[in-house]
Each structure stands twice: as C-alpha cells, then as structure tokens.
Amino acid sequence: MNRAEREKHAYDEEDVFETSHAWHVRFRHVFECPNTRAHEELFAETVRRAAAGGRVLELGCADGRGAAQILELGARSVRGVDISAKLVAQARERELPGRLEFLERDAAEPIDGTYDLVLGRAILHHLDYRGALTRLYETNLAPGGTMAFMEPLGGNPLIRLFHWIAPGAHTADERSFLADDLRWLATRFEHVEIVPFNYLSLPCGLASSLVFSRADNLLMRLADRFDRWLARRAPWLAPQFRQAILIIRRAGSSP
C-alpha cells in the first residue's frame, strides 16, 4: 500500500483514533491545562476571524463536527475533506447543500476551488506537507486569505518516548514537525506565524493527571506562565514544545 492507502486503512480498519483518545483521557491535564486552553482559544479566534463571510476548506474534517461549527461562526460555505470513508459517511449526515459539504479524498491531492480560509488540526504531519501546502497556497488560497493549522512537534524527548511506547496511537507514516520543518515554513512563505505551546506543561500535565483532580491547578498555572515566557523569549526552543499553531497569510484583498 502507498501512504494514502495506509492512512485510510489505519482510520477505517484499525483503532488508531480510539487508542490515541484513550491516552488523552488518561493524561487529560496535558490537554485541559491553562496553557493548552489558551492556545485552543487563540486557534479558535484565528479561525473565527478568517472564516467570517468567507469560503472555508477544512483538511482532515473527520466526522464533520468542526466544519459545522465553522459554518455557525458565519462562514459563507465550508467544504470538509477526509481520507476516511467511515468518517466522511458520518460527516455527510450534516451536509447542507451549497453551504456544507464533505469529500472523501486524500488531502495531499489537488482540490478544486478558492478559499478564504484553509485549516486543519493534526493533518499536515500525515502528508507530504511541503508539496501540499505550496499547492494550497498558490492554487487554493484567495488573496488576503489565511491558512491555520495546529500540528504536533517532535523534538521533545517525551514525545519521542510516547511514539515508542504507544505505536498503536499513531499511523505508520505520520511525522511530527522538527526544527527543519519550522525553518522551511518560515522561509517558504512571506507571512508566517509559529506559536508553540506546552513545554513545561507537558511533563507537568502528565504528573498533574495522576496527582490532582483538576487541570487548572497551581502547578499548571505556573507551567503556563513559564511556557508563555519561553515561547516569546526563546524561539529557538520551539521544536521542543508539544504542539504549535501555524498561521500563513497571503497578501492582497479577497474579492
């Protein structure tokens, strides 16, 4: 099987999503802590602003829940794309003709249409993303448009350990972003913003999940402050964080 076939098989025939979710539940403070929540809100606000009145393409739309929410935020239309036939079948139950539609397709392959916002969560690291991003930017992103992604980073030793001890939570071809990938983004596109999060919040969140009942505790609030400071003052450390918000803007004005 090629990469696309392996990814499709992993999500349609195996339990990659369920295994990954089980780990998230076990160590939920990593994903519910102040540092994560603040950046989830930043990502949501970026999407809301870029989607308002515009045409939206979501890569890796899964069951379509996120695409439906984006439509409710005021987008003119939303198209969701996913490689999983099982998930797209679920998403199509939400379709609204002319406003909300879903396609079963490899996000690395060409997609028709022009969009004011192209977004995805944890999708690029499943693709040959350099070619896909370049084509999306040059062919699909409208002048004045925005691309927004939230992607895992792979430089932290704890992330590498997780990939080793939990292979069932990942597909065979996914590859978290490393320093070279972030450098490529920064030099390939003119207007790029890279916002890393969860450095100290990662190990503290693992420990907090086992010790405290609430993710919003003193330990995690202190970790949040330290992580924000590091993200501003030590950009070279970005690949060592758990995740990053990647924002690419195209100059010009939308028609």
Residue count of the chain: 255
pLDDT band (50, 70, 90) for residue 192: very high
Query: Could you give the C-alpha distances from 104 to 141, 197, 210, in angstroms and in order?
Result: 20, 31, 39
pLDDT band (50, 70, 90) for residue 141: very high
Residue matched to tokens 């003052």 = 233
Has residue 255 got a pLDDT over 70?
Answer: no
With H, G, I as helix, E, B as strand and everything else as coil, classify residue 248.
strand
- Nearest CA to 116 out of 74, 75, 67, 69 is that of 75
Mean pLDDT of 133-142: 96
pLDDT band (50, 70, 90) for residue 11: confident
Residue 16: per-residue pLDDT: 83
Specify the fold of 3-107+115-249: Rossmann fold (3.40.50)
Mean pLDDT of 114-123: 97
Distance separating alpha carbons of residues 58 and 102, to the nearest angstrom:
9
Distance separating alpha carbons of residues 150 and 248, to the nearest angstrom:
12
Q: Which residues contact 165 (CB under 8 A, 6 or more apart)?
A: none
* pLDDT tens, residue by residue, 50-92: 999 999 999 999 999 999 999 999 999 999 999 999 999 999 9
Distance separating alpha carbons of residues 130 and 135, to the nearest angstrom:
9
- Nearest CA to 47 out of 140, 113, 118 is that of 118
Mean pLDDT of 213-229: 98
Distance separating alpha carbons of residues 60 and 62, to the nearest angstrom:
6
Contact 115, 143 (CB under 8 A): no
Has residue 226 got a pLDDT over 60?
Answer: yes
Q: For residue 197, what are the β-bridge partners?
A: 243
Distance separating alpha carbons of residues 18 and 25, to the nearest angstrom:
11
Has residue 200 got a pLDDT over 60?
Answer: yes
Residue 71: per-residue pLDDT: 97
What percent of the chain lies above the pLDDT cut of 70?
99
End-to-end CA distance of the chain: 42
Checking 233-236 for CB contacts under 8 A at 24+ apart, the result is 235/194
Residue 170: per-residue pLDDT: 86
pLDDT band (50, 70, 90) for residue 163: confident
Query: Average pLDDT, whole number, for the chain?
Result: 94
- Nearest CA to 242 out of 163, 153, 182 is that of 153
pLDDT band (50, 70, 90) for residue 254: low
Has residue 253 got a pLDDT over 80?
Answer: no
